[in-house]
Chain A
C-alpha cells in the first residue's frame, strides 16, 4: 500500500492517527501480522492550501460558495481533531512544507517517526517546514535514516511528485491499494476489506 501525504494538509494530518491504528491492527507498526507481506510506504504529495476567504461586502455566488465551503471544512476538521484528541492550530499565514516533504522522500527505512514529528511541528507549533534548520532538527529528533544533507531534497520532491501524478494521485491523504486510489481516511474500512481478503 502506498500512502500520500502533505504535512500542511489538515485531512492528511487527521488521517495519520487512524491510519497508524489501522496499520497497527494489521501488524505493520508492531509485530503480529494479520496481512502477511503487506508493504506500506509513505510518500510526499504537495497540496495547495488556502486561507479561509474573508466575507466581502458584495460576493458572487462562486465567492460565497468558496468561503462557506472553506469555513465549513475548517469547522469540521477542528471538530474531528477534538474527537481524536489532537492539537490542531491552523496557521494564520501560508507555511511551506516542500523541504520536509523532499526529505521524506529520501528517508531510508521507517518514515513514521519523522512523519509524526513533522505533523506535530506543523499543527502544534506552526513550524516552517521549508526551513532547513527546522527540517534538520526534525530528522535528527526522529532518528530518521537520512544524511542530513538537504541539498537534493527539493529535486527529490519533484521526482516523487512526478511519480505520484503518474500513479493518479489527486489529493491527500491518498491511499493506493491493489491499483485502486482512495482519497480520505473515510475509506479505511473498505481498504481494510481489500487487504484482509
Chain B
C-alpha cells in the first residue's frame, strides 16, 4: 500500500486523467522532471466531482442535465474550462470540454500499472492518454482503449485487466480513502517535505525546492523564465 505523503522520490505528483488542470500541468511537470534528471512519483487521484461541484451532462456542447450547481458555480466552472483551454492551446494541445463526468479510475490505474511495469515509459503513457482524451478521442472507461494506450507507450498490457480488477484496483481505492485525512483534495497536487501544494502555479516553488532552495523562494506570480505556466 502507498502512504499518500511518503515516497522515496523527491516529489509526489497526484493527477487525474479527467482533470483539465492536471492535463495542463503535465507538460511543465514532465519538463521539470526531465530538466532536473529526477524521477517523480506520479500517482492517481480519481476525483469524485459530483460530490463537491455538482454534476452536469452535455450533448453537442449544450448542458442537458445539471444537478447541484448554482449560477455562481457554473460561472466558475466555465471560467476554469476557458482558462484551461487557452493554456492547453499555448502548449500546442486541444482541450474540448467533456460531455459527461467520466469515471477515470481505469485510466488512472493505468498509471499505477505503468509505474510498476516500466517507470521510464510512464511519460509516454500519460502522453498517449491525456491529449487524445481531451480531444474527445478516447473512451477511458473502456479496458481495450486503456490497454491500447499502454501498448502505444511501449508498456506490456498483458495482465493489466487482471490488475485493474484486483491488486491495482485495491491499491487505487485504498489511496483514495487516505486523501482527505492527509490534507489532499484535488489535482494536480505536489507533495514534498511538509508541503502539499495544489495547482501547477506552484511549480516555481517546487523547482526552487528541488534545486536546493537557494535564494529567496519564488511567488506564484514569478515563473523562473518569465513565461506563463
Contacts and interface: CB of A to CB of B under 8 A. Distances in A.
Interface string A11-28: 000110011001000000
Given A65-B185, A72-B183, A80-B219, A181 B201 contact: no
B226 interface: yes
A187 B197 contact: no
B219 A83 contact: yes
Contact of B228 (A61, A181, A193): A193
Interface string A156-197: 000000000000101100000000111111111110110000
Contact of A62 (B52, B86, B195): B52
A170 B79 contact: yes
Nearest to A191: B228
A154 B92 CA distance: 46
A62 B229 contact: no
B52 to A, nearest CB: 4
Given A62-B51, A189-B228, A181 B79 contact: yes
Contacts of B216: 83
Contact of B51 (A65, A76, A84, A186): A65
Nearest to B195: A79
B220 A68 contact: no
Interface residues of B, number: 35
Contact of A61 (B51, B202, B218): B51
B196 interface: yes
Contacts, number: 83
Contact of B222 (A18, A60, A168, A180): A18
A13 B202 CA distance: 18
Nearest to A21: B221
A142 interface: no
A13 B144 CA distance: 49
Interface string A86-123: 00000000000000000000000000000000000000
Interface of A: 14-15, 18-19, 22, 60-62, 64-66, 68-69, 71-72, 75-76, 79-80, 83-84, 168, 170-171, 180-190, 192-193
23 contacts: A18-B221, A18-B222, A19-B221, A22-B221, A65-B48, A68-B180, A75-B183, A76-B198, A76-B202, A83-B217, A83-B218, A170-B79, A181-B79, A185-B219, A185-B220, A185-B221, A186-B199, A186-B201, A186-B221, A186-B229, A188-B221, A190-B228, A193-B228
Sorted from nearest, which 10 A-B pairs have the closest CB atoms?
A190-B228, A186-B201, A18-B221, A185-B221, A65-B52, A61-B51, A68-B185, A189-B228, A186-B220, A188-B221
